[in-house]
């Protein structure tokens, strides 16, 4: 299969230029002008469109057991929704079960995706069983194509590990050229404050933000950055949502430490006011860490602008608002009796790019090139996929988003493709929408029509010893 994309304006992390793209067997084989159209199967006219690398979402949770239920998107529905929103690759989390190995976790997650995947994907693995054999297993993960390891400082008695395991994992990962990632909230403090709040009968949704305060996130983030100072091991701090946490990362980076930061699209828009409602509506936005105050939301944008964070992900972890309906897994209603029982997570895999473009580029906060860095290229660099993914260059996979910067769209659960009954950006009128989305040269979405297929997506092994950006 041979195709040409012509007349588009190519926007990469580094440059904006006009060129046509020649694609052969899913790979970009030339950039130029006036390619011979007589010998190709398809010519795509991208006049008036921006041609960008497809989005890479480095943080998702599809088909994940959590909070007494399962996240509601699987590897097909989640991939379909991702593609509609311009995302062509994602990295999901395989979670170790206590008593099992991390390699087993990766194999379990590979099975979840096999035959369902519609876009390409990879996995991080979470070390949740804090025993020395887990740390010793770290180099084995590379044989599975996995080069990043996740540590939880929160979710006591579930995923959380102690500081000595965290430090050992950091060192072992660094020795093997792997990137450690961390969920930075103080799990012991959350557990204690939760107990105290419940003893006082404080079950309204807004108390989630008291138990998951900015101080709790910032303390763990500062501790994580200090651990980087002690070990000089690369660390990527996921889903940073508060000003003081961002400040810790900024300070670490100024010192030259190999620390990198991720924020999520919901933190650029939502605040704690969304959760702190009188009724149960607030449950929709309960996630950990939760969005915080106006000042924190402003700090997220500052961090996006000044490169304190290198990626904008989603932490996509959808749960039905009403999971009691036929055919649905239990959802947010599990927490009707209190915020502490609400499954943590928000949907966003489909919304990330249009919302980031609209608030960021149209809002005058970031350039189109910075958008590409945050949405795609930086994740490819950090996680060992670049330049195969995240770039428009000769030899790269033709994972492309043809983006119409003039197209207006109102985001709504009525029209989205995520397998969930609400949308965090309901009613937001965005300008800029993906018109056509390709993975390895195959069109998955065109003008709002699904042309992809279940099983097309490939597991993509990743390299180690990656760039620290
Ligand atoms: N936070 C969430 O809100 N959901 C999934 C896991 C996490 O850390
Ligand atoms: Zn997390
Ligand atoms: Zn997560």
Tokens of 74: 């699987």
Cβ–ligand 1 contact at 60 (below 6 Å)? no
Which ligand minimizes its atom distance to the CA of 291? Answer: 1
For 442, list phi and psi in degrees, rounded to 5.
Answer: -95, 130
Tell me how far the alpha carbon of residue 344 lies from the centroid of ligand 1, in angstroms.
5
Nearest-atom number in ligand 1 for the CA of 344 is: 3
Tell me which residue has its CA closest to atom 2 in ligand 1. 345
Q: Is the shortest distance between the CB of 172 and ligand 1 below 6 Å?
A: no
Closest C-alpha to 445, from 399, 412, 414, 408? 399
Any atom of ligand 1 within 6 Å of the Cβ of 344: yes
What does the pLDDT read at residue 61? 98
Backbone φ and ψ of 444, nearest 5° = -100, -35
Question: Which pLDDT value is given to residue 64?
Answer: 98
Whether the Cβ atoms of residue 339 and residue 288 lie closer than 8 Å to each other: no
Q: What is the pLDDT of residue 449?
A: 98
- Measure 436 CA to ligand 2 centroid, in angstroms: 31
Q: Quote the CA–CA distance of 89 and 108 in Å, as a whole number.
A: 19
In this prediction, the residues of the chain whose per-residue pLDDT falls under 70 are: none
- The pLDDT of residue 282: 98
- Ligand number nearest CA of 290 is 1
How many A from CA of 102 to the centre of ligand 3?
Answer: 17
Please give, one letter per residue, the 3-state secondary structure of the chain.
CEEEEECCEEECCCCEEECEEEEECCEEEEEECCCCHHHCCEEEECCCCEEEECEEEEEECCCCEECCEECCCCCCHHHHHHHHCCEEEEEEEEECCCCCCHHHHHHHHHHHHCCCCCCEEEEEEECCCCCHHHHHHHHHHHHHCCCEEEEECCCCCCCECCHHHHHHHHHHHHHCCCEEEEECCCHHHHHHHHHHHHHCCCCCCCHHHHHCCHHHHHHHHHHHHHHHHHHCCCEEECCCCCHHHHHHHHHHHHCCCCEEEEEEHHHHCCCHHHCCCCCHHHHHHCCCCCCCCHHHHHHHHHHHHCCCCCEEECCECCCCCCCCCCCCCCCHHHHCCCHHHCCCCECCCCCHHHHHHHHHHHCCCCCHHHHHHHHHHHHHHHCCCCCCCCCCCCCCECCEEEEEEEEEEECCCCCCCCCCCCCCCCCCEEEEEEEEEEECCEEEEECCEECCCCCCCCECCCCCCCCCC
Superfamily, domain 66-369:
Metal-dependent hydrolases (3.20.20.140)
Ligand 1 and 287: CB distance under 6 A: yes
Which residue's C-alpha comes closest to atom 1 of ligand 1? 288
**With b meaning 16 or more CB within 10 Å and e meaning fewer, what string describes 89-103?**
bbbbbbbbeeeebbb
- Look at ligand 1, atom 8, and give the residue with the nearest C-alpha: 288
Whether 290 lines ligand 1, by a CB cut-off of 6 Å, is no
Per-residue pLDDT tens for 429-468? 999 999 999 999 999 999 999 999 999 999 999 999 999 9
Residue ranges matching CATH 3.20.20.140 in the chain? 66-369
Ligand 1: does its nearest atom lie under 6 Å from the Cβ of 154?
no
Cis peptide before 228 (omega within 30 of 0): no
Length of the chain: 469
Label the pairing between strands 42-45 and 2-6.
Answer: parallel
Is 288's C-beta closer than 6 angstroms to any atom of ligand 1?
yes
- Cβ of 61 closer than 6 Å to ligand 1, yes or no, is yes
Is the CB of residue 318 below 6 angstroms from any atom belonging to ligand 1?
no
CB 256 within 8 Å of CB 395:
no
* The pLDDT of residue 44: 98
Phi-psi category of residue 432: left, alpha or beta, with phi > 0 → left and psi -120 to 50 → alpha: left
Q: Which ligand is nearest to the CA of 275?
A: 1
Segments of the chain assigned to CATH 2.30.40.10: 2-52+393-450
Structural tokens at position 445: 């979405």
Q: How far is the CA of 48 from the centre of ligand 2 (A)?
A: 39
User: Which architecture characterizes domain 2-52+393-450 according to CATH?
Assistant: Roll (2.30)
Q: Is the pTM of this model over 0.85?
A: yes
- From residue 147, alpha-carbon distances to 125, 314, 391, 462, 464 in Å are 9, 20, 20, 6, 6
Ligand 1 in contact with 345 (CB < 6 A)?
yes
Name 145's Cβ contacts closer than 8 Å, sequence gap at least 6: 122, 459, 460, 461, 462
Atom of ligand 1 nearest to the CA of 183: 8
Ligand 3 centroid to residue 125 C-alpha, Å: 11
């Amino acid at each position: 299969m041979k195709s040409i994309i012509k007349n588009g304006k190519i926007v990469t992390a580094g440059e904006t230029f006009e060129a046509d793209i020649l694609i052969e067997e899913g790979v970009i084989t030339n950039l130029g002008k006036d390619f011979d159209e007589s010998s190709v199967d398809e010519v795509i006219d991208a006049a008036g469109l921006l041609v960008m690398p497809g989005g890479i979402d480095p943080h998702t949770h599809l088909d994940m057991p959590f909070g007494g239920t399962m996240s509601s998107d699987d590897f097909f529905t989640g991939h379909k929704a991702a593609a509609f929103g311009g995302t062509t690759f994602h990295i999901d989390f395989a979670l170790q079960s206590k008593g099992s190995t991390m390699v087993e976790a990766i194999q379990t997650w590979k099975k979840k995706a096999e035959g369902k995947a519609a876009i390409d994907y990879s996995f991080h693995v979470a070390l949740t069983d804090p025993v020395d054999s887990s740390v010793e297993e770290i180099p084995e993960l590379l044989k599975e194509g996995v080069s990043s390891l996740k540590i939880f400082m929160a979710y006591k008695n579930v995923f959380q590990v102690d500081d000595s395991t965290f430090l050992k994992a950091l060192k072992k990962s660094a020795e093997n050229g792997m990137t450690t990632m961390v969920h930075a909230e103080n799990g012991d403090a959350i557990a204690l404050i939760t107990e105290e709040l419940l003893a006082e009968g404080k079950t309204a949704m807004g108390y989630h933000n008291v138990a998951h305060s900015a101080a709790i996130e910032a303390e763990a983030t500062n501790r994580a950055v200090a651990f980087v100072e002690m070990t000089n091991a690369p660390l990527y701090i996921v889903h940073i949502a508060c000003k003081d946490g961002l400040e810790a990362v900024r300070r670490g980076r100024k010192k030259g430490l190999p620390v990198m930061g991720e924020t999520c699209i919901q933190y650029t828009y939502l605040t704690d006011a969304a959760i702190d409602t009188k009724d149960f509506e607030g449950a929709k936005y309960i996630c950990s860490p939760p969005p915080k105050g106006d000042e924190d939301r402003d700090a997220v944008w500052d961090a996006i602008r000044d490169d304190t964070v290198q990626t904008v992900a989603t932490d996509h972890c959808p749960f039905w608002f009403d999971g009691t309906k036929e055919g649905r897994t239990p959802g947010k209603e599990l927490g009707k009796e209190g915020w502490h029982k609400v499954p943590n997570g928000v949907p966003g895999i489909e919304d990330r790019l249009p919302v980031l473009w609209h608030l960021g580029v149209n809002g005058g906060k970031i350039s189109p090139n910075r958008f590409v860095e945050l949405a795609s290229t930086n994740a490819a660099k950090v996680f060992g996929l670049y330049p195969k993914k995240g770039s428009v260059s000769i030899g790269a996979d033709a994972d492309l988003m043809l983006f119409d910067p003039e197209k207006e769209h109102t985001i709504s659960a009525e029209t989205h493709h995520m397998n969930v009954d609400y949308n965090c950006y309901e009613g937001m009128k965005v300008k800029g929408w993906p018109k056509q989305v390709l993975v390895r040269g195959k069109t998955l979405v065109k003008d709002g029509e699904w042309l992809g297929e279940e099983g097309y997506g490939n597991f993509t092994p990743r390299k180690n010893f990656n760039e620290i950006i």
